[in-house]
């Protein structure tokens, strides 16, 4: 045991490989919740892809989940479009959550125009994030939205009813909020297995703490 070799050298000489060959760079789209970031393979929202949030009811915390992301994006000057929200976003509360109201745009659309408007917003690359509430989208519509998000390198967020969980979806990430008991379940995440156990809801706020598993991984130097 006299010859102590640092792990780094072994990596450099390619004599030692990582089990997971591609160490991912931390996502540039953290959710703002350390616990959720740690549970997701990319460490945050999948970039340039569609994510779904499945909701059994309105008013159970969907905005609490999204506000930190929207606040971060709008503060950085990005534009956030809400396509056909079911209710009026109450400006005082959104401002209180840190969202820059002048970077927020609401698009009113008839149900049949919602997929079109969402696709235009996603594809245009003019928006940092697009939130949509599509009514009964079929598989083709969702695939189009996913492609549009890829083309426009835009964060697409679709709010859908919980019943949609039974059907497959091309979205890169599917989260389901549940009530009674309140918890957050990751149904699907591209690039990794979804965590087996649901996360508690409401999630403790805060970007990252030393004890979170995400930071443990981040402490290991990454090697591409």
Binding site for other proteins (CB under 8 A): 56-64, 67, 79, 85-97, 101-102, 104-110, 113, 116-117, 120-121, 123-127, 151-153, 179-180, 182
Which residues, other chains included, contact 157 with Cβ-Cβ below 8 Å and sequence gap of 6+? 45, 50, 51, 52, 53, 66, 129, 130, 131, 132
Residues 117 and 11: their CA atoms lie apart, in Å, by: 48
C-beta of 103: minimal distance to other proteins in Å?
9
Question: What SS3 state is found at 106?
Answer: strand
* Nearer residue to other proteins within complex by CB, 5 or 106: 106
C-beta of 162: minimal distance to other proteins in Å?
12
* Nearer residue to other proteins within complex by CB, 92 or 196: 92
Which residues, other chains included, contact 154 with Cβ-Cβ below 8 Å and sequence gap of 6+? 48, 121, 122, 123, 125, 127, 128, 129, 130, 148
Q: How many CA atoms lie within 13 A of 53 on its CB side?
A: 24
Question: How many residues are listed for the chain in this entry?
Answer: 224
Residues 118 and 145: their CA atoms lie apart, in Å, by: 7
C-beta of 17: minimal distance to other proteins in Å?
33
C-beta of 144: minimal distance to other proteins in Å?
14
* Nearer residue to other proteins within complex by CB, 39 or 107: 107
* Nearer residue to other proteins within complex by CB, 113 or 194: 113
* Nearer residue to other proteins within complex by CB, 37 or 62: 62
Quick one: which of 154, 191, 219, 213 has its CA closest to 41?
191
DSSP 213: H
Residue 200: its H or E element:
strand 199-200
C-beta of 2: minimal distance to other proteins in Å?
52
* Nearer residue to other proteins within complex by CB, 3 or 180: 180
C-beta of 114: minimal distance to other proteins in Å?
10
Asked if residue 184 lies in contact with residue 36, where contact means CB atoms within 8 angstroms, the answer is yes
């Amino acid at each position: 045991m006299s010859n102590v070799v640092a792990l780094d050298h072994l990596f450099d000489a390619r004599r030692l490989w990582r089990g997971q060959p591609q160490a991912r760079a931390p996502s540039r789209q953290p959710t703002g919740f350390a616990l959720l970031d740690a549970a997701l393979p990319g460490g945050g929202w999948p970039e340039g892809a569609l994510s779904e949030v499945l909701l059994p009811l309105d008013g159970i915390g969907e905005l609490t989940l999204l506000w930190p992301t929207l606040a971060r994006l709008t503060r950085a000057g990005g534009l956030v479009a809400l396509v056909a929200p079911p209710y009026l976003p109450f400006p005082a509360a959104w401002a209180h959550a840190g969202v820059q109201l002048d970077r927020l745009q609401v698009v009113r659309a008839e149900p049949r125009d919602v997929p079109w408007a969402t696709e235009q917003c996603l594809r245009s690359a003019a928006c940092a994030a697009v939130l949509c509430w599509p009514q009964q989208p079929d598989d083709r519509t969702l695939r189009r939205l996913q492609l549009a998000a890829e083309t426009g390198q835009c964060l697409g967020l679709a709010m859908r009813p919980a019943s949609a969980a039974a059907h497959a979806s091309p979205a890169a990430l599917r989260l389901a909020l549940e009530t009674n008991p309140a918890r957050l379940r990751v149904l699907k995440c591209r690039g990794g297995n979804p965590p087996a156990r649901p996360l508690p809801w409401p999630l403790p706020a805060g970007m990252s703490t030393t004890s979170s598993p995400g930071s443990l991984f981040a402490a290991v130097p990454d090697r591409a």
